Amino acid sequence: MTAKSAAAAARATVYGYPRQGQGRELKKAVEGYWKGRVDADALRATAAELRRANWRQLAEAGIHEVPTGDFSYYDHVLDTSVMVGAIPARHRAAVELDALDGYFAMARGTQDVAPLEMTKWFDTNYHYLVAELGPDTVFTADSGKQVGELKEALALGLTARPVLVGPVTYLLLAKPAPGVAADFDPLTLLDRLLPVYAEVLADLRAAGAEWAQLDEPALVQDRTPAELNAAERAYRDLGALADRPKLLVASYFDRLGDALPVLAKAPVEGLALDFTESAAANLDALAAVGGLPGKRLVAGVVDGRNIWVNDLTKSLATLGTLLGLADRVDVAASCSLLHVPLDAAAERDIEPQILRWLAFARQKTREIVTLAKGLAQGTDTISAQLAANRADLASRAGSPITRDPAVRARTAAVTEADARRSQPYGERTTAQRARLGLPLLPTTTIGSFPQTAELRTARADLRASRIDTAGYEERIRAEIGEVISFQEKTGLDVLVHGEPERNDMVQYFAEQLTGYLATQHGWVQSYGTRYVRPPILAGDISRPEPMTVRWTTYAQTLTSRPVKGMLTGPVTMLAWSFVRDDQPLGDTARQVALALRDEVNDLEAAGTSVMQVDEPALRETLPLRAADRATYLAWATEAFRLTTAGVRPDTQIHTHMCYAEFGDIVQAIDDLDADVISLEAARSHMQVARELAGHGYPREAGPGVYDIHSPRVPGADEAAALLRKGLEAIPPERLWVNPDCGLKTRGWSETRASLENLVAAARTVREELVGS
C-alpha cells in the first residue's frame, strides 16, 4: 500500500476507557454488593450498562473500532488469571462455589484466606493483582468474559476489538506462589500457557472478532536475550495459528528498544506503538528496522496518561512520517484511557480559559478522531480544529498562571548544603532516642484513620453551607480526640491525629498550594473501588500559609506521647498529580520541595518531634529503562532531602512507601537519609526486609505486619510471626511495628481489632527479646 492509500485508510481507535461511569456507578455497585445491598444480577446489569454507555460514547465521537475486554470489576490482570485458570489453591474452593465471590476473595481476601499481592502497574498509580504461579500450575482456558463482552459490542452494531494482557507480559509480571522456590521463573511456563491463549483466540474468532489486541507493555522494559527469545517464540506460535483473529500486539509507556525488531518480524498483522514524548525513539527505531510492510500500525500520538490538550499539528507531522512505514496507519492514544478522568466538560469550577487546556478521556477521543480525519482526508478538513488547538496551546504558554518569578528565583538559589542534614544518622539517632524515649520495637501507624461516612458528610455539608466553618471544625476536633484516645488506650507509642480533615493525601495539599488546580469530577481508578482525583499541576508552586500545623499541634495538646506531623513528599505530589509538561520534572519537584520545607520547619517550630514525609510513589515513578534512572533518582532523592534537611538533629524524620517492588531502589531509599522508613510487607511476607538487609541499610525500618487493603483482621499470632521474620533481617533496635499503609479505607471495627492485635504482637515479641 502506498503512503497515500495508507492515509486514506486511517481509522480512530482506543485501547481502553475509564470503567467507573460518570457518577462512579461501578464503585457504588461493587461496594453495595460487598455489603449485601446489591445482588449479583443487579451488579452485572450495572456493569453491562456502563460498558454499553462507554461503547456508544466512543462510537458517537467517531471511534471506528471500540475495545472490549478492558472493563473489569476490579483489575484486568486478575481477569487474565481467571481467563487462563491460574487460581491459587487457597481460593479454588471459593471460586468453584461462587465465581463472583471467589473473584473478589482473590482481590480482597477473607478473614481466613489472604488475597493476592498487589503492586503498581509499571510506572502508573494503577495497582494490579500479581499472579501466583509455580512449576505445578495447570492453565485452563475460560474465555467467557472476553467472548461475552465482545458479543455485547457486536450486538450494538459496532466494530469491536478484544483486548487481552499478552502472555509474555502476564508471565513477566507474575511471582512464584507461596511455598514455591523464590528463584522460580514464571516465564518457564510459556509453552504451557500458549495453548490456552490459542483456545481463547479461537473462541473470539468464532464469536466474530476480526482483530484481537495482545498488550505487551513489559517489553518496553530492559529485557534479557532469553526474555526476548520468549517473546519471539510466543508470537511465532500464536501467529502460526490457523484459527484466530488478526493479531495486534500493543506496547506503551516507553520505547520498545530491542523488542521492536522481534515484534516487527513476528507473523502478526499489526503493532500498536507509543509515539508520545517518552517513547519518541520508537519512530526512528521503526524506520531502522524497515517499518512494517504489509502490516497495520496503530500510532499512539495522543498522551493517554496526562490531561493536557494534544499539539495536533505536531501529532499530524508524526503521523505523516509514519505513513511510509506501514501498510495502514491508524490513530490512537498512547495507552488505555483508564489513566485519565472521564470528561473535562463536567468541571464547572475551573476557569473556562484553563479548561481549554485540558483533555480528559472524552476530549482525547475527539482529538484522536480529528487526527484520523486529518490524516485520511487532509488537513483542510480539520482547519477549524487546528486553529482552535493552536490558540489553546498559545493561551497556556503565555499565561501568567504558569510562571512566578519569586518561586523561580528561590529555586535557582538552592545549594547542595540545603539538601543535607546537619549531622549524620549515627549522631542523630542518639539525640532522637534521648528525646523520644521509645521502647524496643516501637509501634505506630502510617497516618490516616478511617474516613467515616460522618466525616465525608461533614465535608459535604461545609461545601453546601449546611454547616459553618465553626461547626465543621468542632467535628474535626471531636474526631481527633477520639483517635488520640483510642491510640493511647491501645498502647501505641508514636501517635497520629488521624487526618480527619483531609480528603486525599495529595489533593489536600494541592488545594493549599499555589500552582495547583483541583477537579470536582476528575476520578481515576487507583485499585479496585478506590478512586482518586489527581490535582492538576499547572503553574509554579509555593505555600501561602501553614497547611498542617494547626491540627497536628492540637492533637499534641491531647497527649504526652509524640504525635507525628504528616506530609506528602514532593515526588508523590508530582506522581499522583497530572503534572505540567512544559518544564523538566526535576524543576517542578524542587519547587514542591521548597514549599514543603517551609511546612516541615513550621511544624518543628511548633514542637513536633516526629515528622513523616510519605513517598509511596518513589518506586512507581522510576523510569522503565535502566539508562534513564540515575537522572530521575538524583532529583527525586534531592527533593526529599530538600524537604526535610532543615530540621534539628533530634527531630526524627520518617518516610513511607507501599505497594511497589522496592528491590530496584534500595540505594535510593538509603539516599533519602530518612531516620525511619515504613514499607508495605505483609502480602509479600517481609520480602522488603530481606532486601534492605541485603543492601546493608543502616537506619530504622518498619516493614508492615497488617495488610490494610484487605478487610480481614490479622491475629496477634500472625502479626508476631511476621515480626519474627522481620527480625531475621533487621536488628531489634532498628525495627518498628506498623501497618502496611494508612487506614483511611478501613472501617473502625476492623481497625480497632487489627491495631490491638498489632500492639499485642509487639509486646509478645518484645518480651521474647528481653527474656532471651
Q: Where are the alpha helices (DSSP H) in 565-665?
A: 570-575, 585-605, 629-644
At residue 86, the 3 state secondary structure works out as coil
Residue 289, Cβ density class (10 Å: 0-12 exposed, 13-18 middle, ≥19 buried): middle
Amino acid at 154: L
504 contacts: CB under 8 Å, gap ≥ 6: 532, 533
Cβ 223 vs Cβ 169: under 8 Å: no
According to DSSP, the residues that pair with 677 across neighbouring strands are 655, 701
Amino acid at 384: A
* Torsion angle of the four alpha carbons 621, 626, 628, 633, in this order, in degrees rounded to the nearest 10: 50
Tell me which of 91, 339, 497, 709 is the catalytic residue.
709
Is residue 752 left, alpha or beta, with left meaning phi > 0 and alpha meaning psi from -120 to 50?
A: alpha
Q: Is the dihedral of CA 524, 526, 529, 531 positive or negative?
A: negative
Q: Report the distance separating Cα 242 and Cα 145, nearest Å.
A: 23
Cβ 115 vs Cβ 710: under 8 Å: yes
Cβ 702 vs Cβ 652: under 8 Å: no
* Torsion angle of the four alpha carbons 674, 676, 677, 682, in this order, in degrees rounded to the nearest 10: 170
Catalytic, 521? Answer no
Is residue 122 left, alpha or beta, with left meaning phi > 0 and alpha meaning psi from -120 to 50?
A: left
What is the grid cell recorded at 350? 475551573
What is the grid cell recorded at 576? 499522583
Q: Report the distance separating Cα 654 and Cα 644, nearest Å.
A: 10
Residue 226, Cβ density class (10 Å: 0-12 exposed, 13-18 middle, ≥19 buried): exposed
Which one, of 153, 154, 182, 185, lies nearest residue 171 by Cα? 185
How is residue 347 annotated by DSSP?
-
DSSP output for 148-187: HHHHHHHHTT--EEEEEE-HHHHHHH-EEPTTS-TT--GG
Q: Report the distance separating Cα 346 and Cα 535, nearest Å.
A: 15
Q: Report the distance separating Cα 256 and Cα 239, nearest Å.
A: 20
Cβ 741 vs Cβ 444: under 8 Å: no
What is the grid cell recorded at 762? 509487639
Amino acid at 658: C
Is residue 424 left, alpha or beta, with left meaning phi > 0 and alpha meaning psi from -120 to 50?
A: beta
What is the grid cell recorded at 12? 480512530
Write phi, then psi, for 362 (nearest 5 degrees). -65, -40
What is the grid cell recorded at 507? 489533593
Residues annotated as part of the active site: 709
